[in-house]
Chains A and B, each alone.
Chain A
């Protein structure tokens, strides 16, 4: 069973070179820091990646449902990326990816 997470990533300073590969690295590092090698081994797919502003990005990822808590908590406790302060906020969690596109703000509040 797969779960989809819609994330928003905010940077303190504009980071225009933040690519999908950089995000993948951030995610793996966050999982490894909190849950070790077992966390880093969780399979995560990046489905969608979009730039909203020079310091704000929106990403849609999918992960196994049983590992949702691990993935979510490691993203919450991420505070910096390459010495640039950042915050990852989970906007929505759903089973199908189409739901996340419609109800981003409704679900969070």
Chain B
């Protein structure tokens, strides 16, 4: 009997730089991860903020890091947002599209409310290790999930401090109640190899967060694949298309006749079915 294909375990947040990143990637590969993302964190403070080019990260990866075999390394940017008025600036930035994955780290209620309806990003993370300061709402969570964006939880703060651990468990139980366990990814957020845990440890940890058994494994496999496909849709697909067509001579005559009519009237006429002759 054939074995089922091995799931691709993913960790979307490695924060180390320089020679330590090399150790971290090696540890991740040993533990059984097949895909990781190296994160660049930026705090957004208006138009003056410079989003680092992806070439800088590529250069750092080439200089210091020897990539272990069989490990796919993605490039990710996380932008910390506090002021909702600045979100449109992020939306229009070309530098963001160079990264494989983009994430928003939301720190205020207003920013969270405004991203629900406007911003398209791959991952949203909140300050899970502290008191949120605003209640999560079922409608907001489901609206975000419907657009294919996932919520991210990092477990490293839970390892470092017991008070952070308590807050994380409390917040994630609340989140998994609203999302019914769907659309949540669990990442390490590790800066040191000893902060990294094995894939099976992470799956078990998600059981502790109150998720159902079938959703636990998805937190580091299926949902991560969903994030990657969402990111590819955002970057690889053309944003819009216009169909140009020559009008037949009779149609153009009609258009000239209707030139005086208002746009709304023309639309009404075009929608109403034509009488059969």
Contacts and interface: CB of A to CB of B under 8 A. Distances in A.
Contacts of B195: 79, 87
A109 to B, nearest CB: 4
Interface of B: 6, 31-32, 155, 158-160, 162, 165, 192, 194-202, 204-205, 207-208
B198 A77 contact: no
B198 A108 contact: yes
Contact of A89 (B6, B31, B158, B159): B31
B204 A69 contact: yes
B201 A72 contact: yes
B208 A73 contact: yes
- Top 8 nearest A-B pairs (CB, nearest first) are A79-B159, A109-B32, A87-B194, A76-B201, A73-B208, A72-B204, A89-B198, A85-B194
A87 B196 contact: yes
Given A69-B207, A72-B201, A76-B201, A86 B158 contact: no
Choose among B155, B202, B204, B205 the residue with the greatest number of A CB atoms under 10 Å from its CB.
B204
Contacts of A108: 31-32, 198-200
A86 B200 contact: no
Contacts of A33: 162
B28 to A, nearest CB: 12
Nearest to B160: A79
Contacts of A12: 192, 194
Contacts of B207: 69, 73
A69 B205 CA distance: 8
Given A77-B205, A79-B160, 10 more contacts: A34-B165, A69-B208, A72-B201, A73-B204, A76-B155, A77-B165, A85-B192, A85-B194, A90-B200, A91-B198
A85 B195 CA distance: 9
B194 A76 contact: no
A57 interface: no
Interface in A22-37: 33-34
A73 B205 contact: yes
B194 A90 contact: no
A12 B31 CA distance: 17
Interface in A49-72: 69, 72
B201 A90 contact: yes
A89 B197 contact: yes
Nearest to A8: B198
Interface string A70-109: 0011001111000001110111010000000000000011
